[in-house]
């Protein structure tokens, strides 16, 4: 089969669509013909050699896919060859075929494209896990979502609204702020021209927000802590702004704050299955009926994965960048 192979060149990683070994599948897995996958920041890091896949995962890039079941493992029940599905993957999505534990599959609605299907697993499950299972976001609470126009951010805004919480966001351009407002952001802050801490304090009468979903890390840590209300929860999911920060720990104690670090990929398969099933029963129906929408920016053919990675690295996307596999 074909898949994306990464080679390290003097001016950075080079992604080529070429022959790769066929995949095997276990008795409780299905083999899927991949029709679409999507670019995630983790793929960019993995391509540079800085983010190895977890033990046992495919070395091929790709944390999600949508496609059609090609073959069923002998223990698999409840699925048929030809079923249209999507799933979170530990790797291996940038290829013509991938093996997936049957319990990880979500069935695509009939009127959904494969591009819509692959726009869901990684960013919606990340937003879901962190807003609800880690931060316990409640109706009426304010959630500050940094990188609001990112794949994760566009899902998080909608999920917060779906439970009657109030999403505030930060983003780096007026176009991104506008799109986030359309998706439900109550307050949209341009972090390049405004200090998000000042804006949050102003909007909340000095109280601060209840939850922060933060992919930035180091450079935001101090202001994130200062932007939290009493009993506030900061969930860090990324390090776009560096790995080091300094905080006044007195604020942590006095305001009884919680800081959580969280990754989805490194969780064991059983935990990912539980998360998928909880999401499927809680929010998948709202995606199916169109109340919530996967947000797609651009679709590239998988042969142009290199261009898709450069597009994401340049922060051009609002929502997901899809790779179509024909
Ligand atoms: N922990 C997990 O399990 C998990 C899972 C999935 C994703 N993530 C993380 O979540 C983040 C979002 O992922 P994604 O795939 O949705 O990303 P994405 O669509 O590629 O968007 C990321 C956005 O972050 C903003 N950004 C980049 N560098 C920044 C910086 N230094 N300071 C502030 N904003 C910055 C940019 O938007 P602006 O133009 O607004 O600056 C960029 O478009 C990434 O950090 C990713 O690694 C974590």
How far is Cα 265 from Cα 45, in angstroms, rounded to an integer? Answer: 13
C-alpha 78 – ligand 1 centre gap (Å): 36
Choose which residue among 152, 319, 322 to substitute to test ligand 1 binding: the one with the highest number of ligand atoms within 8 A of its C-beta.
Answer: 152
Atom of ligand 1 lying closest to residue 312 CA:
20
- pLDDT score recorded for residue 273: 97
pLDDT at 50: 86
Which atom of ligand 1 has the smallest separation from the CA of 149? 40
| CATH for the stretch 123-261 | 3.40.50.720
Low-confidence ranges of the chain (pLDDT < 70): none
* Eight-state DSSP code of residue 290: T
223 Cβ inside 6 Å of ligand 1: no
Q: Quick one: pLDDT at residue 137?
A: 98
| Domain 2-120+266-324 belongs in CATH node 3.40.50.280 | no
pLDDT at 245: 95
Ligand 1 atom 11 nearest Cα: 215
Closest CA to 20 of 65, 47, 58: 58
User: Per DSSP, what are the bridge partners of residue 19?
Assistant: 2
Instruction: Report pTM.
Output: 0.97
Q: Where are the beta strands (DSSP E) in the chain?
A: 2-9, 12-19, 29-38, 64-72, 84-88, 97-101, 106-107, 142-145, 166-171, 187-190, 209-214, 228-236, 258-261, 296-301, 320-324
The rounded distance, in Å, linking the Cα atoms of 323 and 316 is: 16
Verify whether ligand 1 is closer than 6 Å to residue 264 (CB atom).
yes
What ligand 1 atom has the least distance to the C-alpha of 262? 1
Q: Where are the domains of the chain?
A: 2-120+266-324, 123-261
pLDDT tens digits, one per residue of 89-132? 999 999 999 999 999 999 999 999 999 999 999 999 999 999 99
Nearest CA to ligand 1 atom 15: 40
Question: Separation of 147 CA from ligand 1 center, angstroms?
Answer: 6
Phi then psi for residue 241, to 5 deg, are -105, 20
Q: 10 Å Cβ neighbour count for 254? A: 10
> Is the CB of 258 inside a 6 Å radius of any atom of ligand 1?
no
Ligand 1 mean position to 132 CA, how many Å? Answer: 19
């Amino acid at each position: 089969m074909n898949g994306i192979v990464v080679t390290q060149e003097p001016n950075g990683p080079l992604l080529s669509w070429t022959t790769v070994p066929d995949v095997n599948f276990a008795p409780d897995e299905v083999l899927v013909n991949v029709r679409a996958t999507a670019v995630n920041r983790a793929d960019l890091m993995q391509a540079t050699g800085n983010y190895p896949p977890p033990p046992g995962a495919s070395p091929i890039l790709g944390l999600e896919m949508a496609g059609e079941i090609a073959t069923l493992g002998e223990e698999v029940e409840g699925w048929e060859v030809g079923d249209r599905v999507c799933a979170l993957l530990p790797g291996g999505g940038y290829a013509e075929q991938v093996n997936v534990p049957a319990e990880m599959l979500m069935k695509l609605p009939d009127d959904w494209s494969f591009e819509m299907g692959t726009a869901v697993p990684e960013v919606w499950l990340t937003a879901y896990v962190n807003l609800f299972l880690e931060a316990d976001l409640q109706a009426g609470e304010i959630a500050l979502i940094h990188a609001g126009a990112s794949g994760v951010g566009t899902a998080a805004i909608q999920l917060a609204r779906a439970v009657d919480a109030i999403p505030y966001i930060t983003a780096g351009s007026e176009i991104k702020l506008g799109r986030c407002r359309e998706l439900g952001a109550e307050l949209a802050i341009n972090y390049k021209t405004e200090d998000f801490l000042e804006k949050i304090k102003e909007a909340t009468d000095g109280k601060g927000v209840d939850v922060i979903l933060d992919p930035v890390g180091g450079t935001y840590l101090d202001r994130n802590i200062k932007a939290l209300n009493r009993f506030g929860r900061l969930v860090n999911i990324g390090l776009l702004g560096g790995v080091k920060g300094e905080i006044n720990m007195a604020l942590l104690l006095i305001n009884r704050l919680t800081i959580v670090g969280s990754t989805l990929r490194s969780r064991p398969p059983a935990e990912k299955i539980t998360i998928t099933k909880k999401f499927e029963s809680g929010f998948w129906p709202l995606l199916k009926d169109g109340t919530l929408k996967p947000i797609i920016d651009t679709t590239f053919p998988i042969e142009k994965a290199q261009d898709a990675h450069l597009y994401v690295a340049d922060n051009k996307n609002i929502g997901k960048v899809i790779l179509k596999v024909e």
